[in-house]
Chain A
Amino acid sequence: MKVILVGSGRILYYLARQFNRKELDVQIVTPVKQEARELSQRVNRPVLVGDATDPKILEDAGAFRADVVLALTPNDEDNLAVCQIARQMYQVPRTIALVNDPENEEIFHKLKVSVAISATRILSIILEEQAGFEEIGKLISVAEGRVSVAEVVLREDSPAAGRSLESITLPAEALIGGIIRGGKVLIPRGGSQLLAADRLILIATETSMDEAMRTLVGNDGK
């Protein structure tokens, strides 16, 4: 598999090193000569010096034969251009971009970049999870971050403990997808009794998550 890596800095070196172990055909493109020379020595591969937003440079890097192009510069506009040139001019099947400003994730998806990775977004999800209520486990986000799946542990004094599911009013965009009790998964039904120490799999939109938490465990984790 041929991979073109575009960018600068350490991330480029670490990725190239990683890919070396996997024996991929990696071509690195970086704009600064000095950095290219050092990188080339460290990873023992030729490194192309140039601005990859110039279609000719990307062609020199072998874009016509590339399976993947990774754009990892600190500028979103450059990462977008690299991916679009790769896809439109050289028919590269898979383009992966680093999105520096998480607000640009949407536009990258709309403009057909195969994968847009926002480090800011990933880190803020992790931080929010850490800062959150200790009873909320493994928060994952789906549907471009609009829906979250959380694991909620009920305590003795949680408002939902000891009540039946049908007596609990959750917001419209929240639901309990499963009840885990003593290592077994129970399918939630109206008559299901919730008990202390139950782990609930809660699925909710961003706007309903806090209210659903309040209803189940008495606070929204903040």
Chain B
Amino acid sequence: MKRPAGQHPGSIVIVGCGRLGAMLASRLSRSGSRVVVIDHDSGAFALLEAGFSGFRVTGDAVEHDVLREAGLAEAACLLAVTEKDTLNLMVAQVAKTIFAVPQVIARVYDPTFEALYRKLGIHTISPTSLTAREFLRVIEQESGRP
């Protein structure tokens, strides 16, 4: 579809349709959210569930026009989950500063970015930190057993 869901308030824009992006998009779409997914490679949309009812935008999210086309100006939430930390961080900051999106979350692999971008007002999630925490929790739990 040429004219995506952007005109409707409350949509969720997801940048990056890798495994994480596709999973988030599929689940949010299934639970009734209006979802727009952006990826520079249209082949990436194959990862979406068959029942995905959201919109797909092919383009480089570092370009404002692509974000505009995805209806970012009216979106309630942006999730930046490409494979590249710096791209996620830039898209997140553009969403917050230029498009005034209320909720913005970026995935960053490098945990050193977390503190830096928290200071700049960007909510980041680091899979590295999350995984390490879970490993430590399991180690503690299992060694704690008699």
Which residues does A use to contact B, with CB under 8 Å? 53-56, 75-78, 80-81, 84-85, 88-89, 101, 103-104, 106-107, 110-111
Can you list, as one digit per residue, whether each of B94-112 has a CB less than 8 Å from chain A (1) or not (0)? Answer: 1001100000000000101
Task: Identify whether the interface residues of B are mostly helix, strand, loop, or mixed.
Answer: helix
Q: Which residues of B contact A (CB under 8 A)?
A: 62-65, 84-87, 89-91, 93-94, 97-98, 110, 112, 116, 119-120
Given A54-B110, A55-B112, A110-B97; A76-B64 close (CB under 8 Å)? no
A111 neighbours in B (Cβ, 8 Å): 93, 97, 120
Which listed residue (B65, B84, B112, B119) contacts A77, Cβ 8 A? B84
CA distance A106 to B91 in the complex (A): 14
Contact A88 B90 (CB under 8 A): no
Majority secondary structure of chain A interface residues (helix, strand, loop or mixed): helix
Partner of A107, one of B86, B87, B93: B93
Q: Which of A54, A76, A106 contacts B98 (CB 8 A)?
A: A106
* A-B pairs, 3 with minimum CB distance: A77-B90, A81-B86, A77-B86
Q: A76 to B97, Cβ gap below 8 A?
A: no
Contact assessment for B97 and A75 in the assembled complex, using a CB-CB cutoff below 8 Å: no
Residues of B contacting A77 in the complex (Cβ-Cβ under 8 angstroms): 62, 84, 86-87, 89-91
Contacts of B90 in A (CB 8 A): 76-77, 80-81, 107
Say whether, besides A107-B93, A110-B97, A75 and B119 are in contact (CB < 8 Å). no
Bound-complex Cα distance A54 to B85 (A)? 10
Distance (Å) between the CB of A100 and the closest chain B CB?
Answer: 9
Question: Cβ of B119: which chain A residues have Cβ within 8 Å of it?
Answer: 88
Selected from B62, B65, B97, B116, the residue in CB contact (under 8 A) with A88 is B116
A54 to B111, CA, bound (A): 11
How far is it, in angstroms, between the C-alpha of A104 and the C-alpha of B63 when the chains are bound? 8
Chain B residues contacting A101 (CB-CB under 8 Å) are 62-63
Contacting residues, chain A, for B94 (C-beta < 8 A): 104, 107
A81 to B64, CA, bound (A): 18
Whether the Cβ atoms of B86 and A103 lie closer than 8 Å is: no
Task: Please indicate the chain A residues that have their CB under 8 angstroms from the CB of B116 in the complex.
Answer: 55, 84-85, 88-89
Residue on A with the closest CB to B61?
A: A77
Q: Which residue of A lies closest to B110 (CB)?
A: A54
Bound-complex Cα distance A56 to B65 (A): 34
Q: Which chain A residues border B84 with CB–CB below 8 Å?
A: 77
Q: What are 8 A-B contacts defined by CB distance under 8 Å?
A: A55-B112, A56-B112, A77-B86, A78-B86, A81-B85, A81-B90, A103-B65, A104-B62
Could you tell me the distance between the alpha carbons of A53 and B120 in the complex, rounded to whole angstroms? 16
A191 and B62 CA atoms in complex are apart in Å by: 52
